[in-house]
């Protein structure tokens, strides 16, 4: 997990003044291919009020939210499953220990210093068939206080954040609460039943048993001690929510769950004569308590406890045009639940990674970057995974900039504890004989951009990901769902993005089109060549932002093609178009800034589904207020 960036597509010192850089910055790094990186300022300018709002604007990314799991949100990269994406916070994974899925709603957007996205495996981690989302938390802030509140008719949230700075000591602390009944409106469609014969077709209802109460604390302390920069971070979350279930075969009107999540991290970094060194220790604890008193329920109660301990060390050093990096990491995971075979599961993981990068400059306008490395990873009693990766990128600078890069990587995914050991005797049965998934990615990216007042950028990405032993849940003859390994699957993706500065320093817009061919290549008679489920073949996005003085407005449009919901492709979710909009006004008095705004989600009141039988909200209006004092 090395992040030693040594070259960027845009070198500001080489550009004539005034030169306008567009929101998305692409960088190349040691063993990390072509990385898309976004700063805190860019995230704030986008108007996004949470992480997933911002990620929806990034080509190649899809958000999974079925509106029935307590507000959790997960990310897909390049057509991958959500558990195939490695999500890191300050270099440490935060995925659910049982399922391997990372809930991005846990981290408030105001705590993000930077966000990096890379497709496929890299020096940041090899267990990333889809890719890596790496988040760096707030750092080096001055004294400031922030209060915010937002809400709709069904859900509201309040939060407070304070930053202190005394000489070299910095402390950041924040608390928040989200609460609401979750009774959003939805409309019955023919896809919720038997076509035109569907019961209550066209009728509007409110989602029941969807209440949520979530409390969160985030804290961070930073201080130099000698030559080391010391950091400590704490993320604590407690949630209680209803589980309304799906419209078919039937809702679960009495089911609920309580969850707790605690992440503690401690790290120290230093620039020494032998190179840059960073050491991190982390502890993650989770608890889940499920209850459903409904006498018709298959499962009435379950209790789960899990933990993960992580130790990570990184080193890097630059020698003129060369950069060498190395890392080593160990993890120990434990999961205890009455639904698991033997009630308890323990797994050790370790990995090491070594990479070398080279930068060649020709004058001030040409850059050639290349890097290569290898990761070695192992989990439990499995075979050692050898994961090579490499990339090469060329950049031409000037008034007209061009760049093109190639990234190649091998990756894998260990089977989750749930897929190995789940055993509820009625609905699902784990498979302890599952093999790890493996993927091989070839990605070509490129782009061209112009500067000055009316900046324009066009970027493209082409990728081919071949996945072997893809883990798939299928219903067996006894009615229980069981995971199996497919022989292989293919994920072929392409995207083109146009970003345009419409009015200098006032208005910009972006448009992107994505194509995805995610198909089963198992060779089975009924499924070979079929689309993998819940992956639209085409997606179009358009975003526009206007900032004029203290006024800010944003509009986004998403069109998603139909999606298969069965392996045989005999049933599909329909295409849909989703429009969201927001406007806000800021007022500044001295060091205090007050921002007030209104938002509208699903402006055109469309019926849509991200998961079969899980209706999404119709039009919802919202308000938000943000008060910041200090810098």
pLDDT band of 363, cuts 50, 70, 90: confident
- Asked whether residue 473 carries a pLDDT value surpassing 70, the answer given is yes
pLDDT band of 29, cuts 50, 70, 90: very low
Rounded CA gap, 113 and 119, in Å? 21
How many beta carbons lie within 10 A of that of residue 215, not counting itself? 15
Taking residues 79-86, report their average pLDDT: 93
Q: Considering Cα of 78, then 80, then 84, then 90, what sign does the dihedral take?
A: positive
Between 92 and 58, the more confident residue is 92
What pLDDT score was predicted for residue 132?
Answer: 92
Instruction: Count Cα atoms within 13 angstroms, Cβ side, for 382.
Output: 23
Q: Which SS3 state, helix, strand or coil, does residue 417 take?
A: helix
CATH architecture of 5-630: Beta Barrel (2.40)
Q: What is the pLDDT of residues 565-598, one digit of tens each?
A: 999 999 999 999 999 999 999 999 988 999 999 9
- Asked whether residue 33 carries a pLDDT value surpassing 70, the answer given is no
Contact, 58 vs 117, CB < 8 A? yes
With CA atoms as reference, report the closest residue to 87 among 79, 78, 76. 76
pLDDT band of 562, cuts 50, 70, 90: very high
- Asked whether residue 141 carries a pLDDT value surpassing 80, the answer given is no
* Strand ranges across the sheet with 25-29: 5-8, 25-29, 34-39, 112-119, 131-137, 85-89, 92-93
CA angle 19, 24, 25 (to 5 degrees): 70
- Asked whether residue 496 carries a pLDDT value surpassing 90, the answer given is yes
């Amino acid at each position: 997990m090395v992040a030693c960036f040594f070259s960027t597509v845009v070198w500001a010192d080489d550009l004539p003044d005034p030169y306008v850089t567009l929101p998305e910055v692409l960088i190349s790094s040691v063993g990390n291919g072509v990385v898309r990186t976004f700063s805190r300022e860019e995230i704030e300018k986008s108007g996004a009020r949470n992480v997933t709002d911002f990620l929806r604007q990034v080509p190649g990314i899809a958000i999974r939210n079925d509106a029935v799991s307590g507000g959790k949100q997960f990310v897909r990269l390049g057509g991958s499953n959500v558990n195939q994406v490695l999500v890191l916070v300050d270099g440490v994974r935060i995925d659910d220990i049982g399922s391997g899925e990372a809930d991005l709603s846990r981290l408030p957007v105001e705590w993000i210093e930077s966000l990096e996205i890379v497709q496929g495996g890299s020096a940041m981690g090899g267990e990333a068939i889809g890719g890596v989302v790496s988040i760096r938390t707030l750092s080096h802030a001055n004294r400031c206080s922030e209060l915010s509140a937002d809400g709709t008719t069904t859900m509201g949230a309040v939060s407070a954040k304070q930053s202190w700075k005394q000489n070299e000591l910095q402390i950041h602390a924040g608390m928040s609460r989200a609460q609401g009944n979750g009774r959003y409106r939805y409309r019955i469609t023919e896809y919720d039943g038997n076509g035109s014969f569907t019961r209550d077709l066209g009728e509007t209802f409110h989602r029941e048993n969807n209440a949520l109460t979530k409390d969160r604390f985030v804290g961070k302390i930073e201080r130099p001690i000698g030559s080391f920069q010391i950091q400590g971070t704490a993320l604590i979350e407690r949630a209680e929510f209803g589980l309304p279930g799906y419209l078919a075969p039937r809702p679960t009107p009495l089911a609920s769950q309580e969850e707790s999540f605690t992440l503690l991290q401690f790290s120290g970094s230093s620039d020494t004569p032998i190179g840059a060194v960073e050491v991190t220790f982390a502890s993650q604890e989770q608890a889940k308590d499920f209850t459903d008193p409904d006498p018709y329920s298959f499962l009435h109660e379950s209790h789960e406890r899990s933990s993960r301990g992580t130790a990570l060390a990184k080193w890097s050093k630059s020698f003129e045009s060369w950069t060498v990096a190395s890392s080593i990491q160990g993890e120990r995971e434990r999961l205890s639940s009455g639904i698991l075979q033997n009630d308890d599961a323990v797994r050790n993981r370790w990995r090491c990674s070594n990479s070398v990068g080279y930068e060649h400059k020709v004058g001030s306008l040409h850059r050639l970057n290349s890097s290569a490395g290898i990761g070695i990873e192992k989990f439990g009693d499995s075979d050692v995974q050898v994961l090579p990766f490499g990339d090469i990128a060329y950049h031409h600078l000037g008034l007209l900039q061009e760049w093109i890069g190639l990234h190649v990587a091998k990756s894998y995914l260990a089977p989750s504890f749930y897929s190995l050991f789940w055993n509820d005797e009625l609905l699902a049965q784990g498979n302890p004989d599952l093999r790890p998934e493996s993927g091989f990615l070839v990605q070509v990216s490129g782009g061209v951009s112009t500067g000055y007042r009316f900046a324009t950028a066009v970027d493209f990405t082409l990728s081919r990901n071949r996945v072997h032993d893809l883990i798939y849940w299928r219903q067996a003859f006894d009615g229980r769902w069981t995971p199996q390994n497919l022989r292989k699957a293919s994920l072929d993706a392409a995207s083109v993005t146009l970003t345009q500065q419409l009015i200098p320093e006032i208005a910009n817009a972006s448009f992107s089109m994505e194509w995805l061919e995610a198909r089963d290549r198992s060779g089975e008679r009924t499924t070979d060549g079929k689309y993998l489920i819940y992956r639209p073949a085409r997606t179009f996005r358009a975003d526009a932002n206007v900032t004029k003085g203290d006024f800010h407005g944003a509009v986004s449009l998403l069109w998603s093609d139909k999606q298969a919901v069965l392996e045989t492709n005999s049933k599909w979710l329909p295409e849909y178009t989703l429009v969201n909009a927001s406007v806000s006004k800021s007022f500044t008095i001295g060091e205090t800034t007050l921002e007030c705004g209104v938002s509208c989600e699903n402006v055109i009141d469309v019926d849509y589904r991200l998961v079969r039988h899980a209706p999404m909200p119709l039009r919802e209006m919202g308000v938000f207020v943000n008060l910041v004092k200090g810098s």
